[in-house]
Copies of this chain bind each other. A is one copy, B any other.
Amino acid sequence: MAKVKVAVVGYGVIGQRLADGVEKQEDMKLLGIVDVAPTLSIRALYDSDSPYDVYVVNDSMRGAFEAEGIPIKGNLNDILSEADIVLDATPAGVGAKNKELYLKAKKKAIFQGGEKDEVADVFFHGYANYEKGIGADYLKLTSCNTTGFIRAVDCIDKEVGVERVVVTIIRRSADPGDIHRGVVDLALVEKVPNHQAVDLMKIMPHIDATGALVHVPTTHGHIITLLVTPKKKISVDDALKLFEAHPRIKVVEIEKGFNSNAALFRYARDRGSKRADMYEIALFKETLVLSGNNLFFTISVPQEAVVTPETIDGIRASLKLQTNWKEAVSLTNKYLKME
């Protein structure tokens, strides 16, 4: 079977990782990446061992890349004409504009969480509502935190049902290297509910969710506490078994050194993962307890790479590569080595 052809538009924090993720799928072909300027990420790509092909949005941008010695394979129209689907990872709001080009080129596309819901036909999560994405032309992925904690909530929901969720998100206020955002010696409190809890309810409408969001001076992943009210009581041991069996959840132990978002990042670096990335959320084993019948536990969401698997699930759904969600996510997981 021919590989499906994928274009990544926007080569920032998310786009880089989507490209890497697609490259690892044996049934997909990454045509290349599209960007507007020779950023540091493009420079790093070109300096790497096996750079992807680089396209510009329009030909007027070629000069800037060529001045940096970076060869250009073509423009957006060129890559669109070849692609089966586009992964759009441009800054929030740009995707909505780009959609017109995708419509004109009659190409499917998957947008990231920064875009408004209206950009897409379906608001998508690979595990929680795969079937809604099957055959859809335009999908929007849940954002990093929502993607991450839905994995855990869905994992319990599929077994015993979930009635209610309360999350406290302790989020990084900047990405590594980011000079445009960030708080110093400050924990910024947002109004409740946060959009992540609202988004969970859009994806899993049978659940009542709310949540608080606090921005703190960190860059490596979000820490989230979840209180999950199941429909049927479940023991800590049984919940733990479910989490341990989930390919996209890595159960870690504080006493073995996995005691922070930064420890997970260091582990990924030391293990030799490209970009020190992790696709799994981590669930801290010693934080999993019962409060009455409610499960209470803490996870870490690696904001940079966490949406990669579900985005690739989206390709599978949109292009009907698999019509069974289990088969789809299993393939994604296999190629990303998350089994």
Chain A interface residues toward B at CB < 8 A: 16, 39-41, 43-45, 47-49, 68, 164, 166, 168, 170, 172-174, 176-179, 181-193, 208, 210, 212, 214, 216-221, 223, 225, 227, 229, 254, 256-263, 265-272, 274-276, 284, 286-289, 291-292, 294, 296-298, 300
Contacts and interface: CB of A to CB of B under 8 A. Distances in A.
A271 B40 CA distance: 10
A291 B166 contact: yes
Contact of A174 (B179, B183, B287): B183
Contacts of A176: 185, 220, 262, 265-266, 269
Given A210-B291, A271-B48, A223 B174 contact: no
A228 to B, nearest CB: 11
A249 to B, nearest CB: 16
A185 B218 contact: yes
A85 to B, nearest CB: 24
Contacts of A259: 179, 188-189
Contact of A274 (B168, B188, B229, B272): B272
Nearest to A187: B223
A181 B180 CA distance: 7
A141 to B, nearest CB: 22
A272 to B, nearest CB: 5
Contacts of A270: 16, 40-41, 44-45, 48, 275
Contacts of A185: 176, 184-185, 217-220, 262
B296 A166 contact: yes
B189 A184 contact: no
B190 A184 contact: no
A40 B184 contact: no
